[in-house]
Amino acid sequence: MADNITPGQVAPPKNPLLTLLMVVNILAMGTVAYFQYRFMDMEAKRPDLTQLLKEKDSGAEVTTDASGEQKNVEVVKKENLLPLDSFTVNLAQGEGPRRYVRLDAVLKMSDDAKAAEFEARKPQIRDTIISILNTKRAEDLLKKEGKSFLKEEIKASINSFLVDGRVEDIYYISFQIN
């Protein structure tokens, strides 16, 4: 008698596993939709890029993030950023094939730094960075801590011979290990 279904009717599911899978699928889709809604809501609360640029130009150092908390923002003057030419340096030999690093970086100098001294010491700065990179292994630099330690080591080495001003930070523009 279960086979007596007229052409407009749908047969009841015979397998409870199929019903269970459908319920799990609907719950999963609902969960994805909920998190998508939350993400879109969070993105809508983020400040607009034009607003951030206006605040930066006006010298505002306090901004409000998406969660409503106020944060101090570091204002960097363009005059304090000194770009370095690209580096391609062999790394210290470890296990396996020879490895090298390609690095583009920008030095953030203190306010009292003079561009003339930077230009005069540029070969010395490059030599220092190359010498430091030659002592590093790829395994050391692949970790986040390794890159942070490299920044601190480079800053300390460069600051040891600068007369006017000092390096406050180093920004990696690109960092590639092959």
Domain stop point among 34, 55, 72: 72
- Tell whether 91 and 154 lie within a shared domain: yes
- Tell whether 35 and 116 lie within a shared domain: no
Residue 4 lies in a domain: no
Distance CA 123, CA 129 (A): 10
CATH number at residue 99: 3.30.479.30
Tens digit of each residue's pLDDT (9 = 90 or more) over 135-177: 988 888 888 888 899 999 999 999 898 888 889 999 988 889 8
Pick from 40, 178, 10: nearest CA to 99 = 178
Domain stop point among 72, 96, 116: 72
- Tell whether 84 and 155 lie within a shared domain: yes
- Tell whether 97 and 119 lie within a shared domain: yes
Mean pLDDT of the chain: 82
- Tell whether 122 and 89 lie within a shared domain: yes
pTM: 0.57
In DSSP terms, which residues pair with 71 in a beta bridge?
Answer: 63
Q: Which domain holds residue 173?
A: 78-177
Pick from 101, 107, 131, 133: nearest CA to 119 = 107
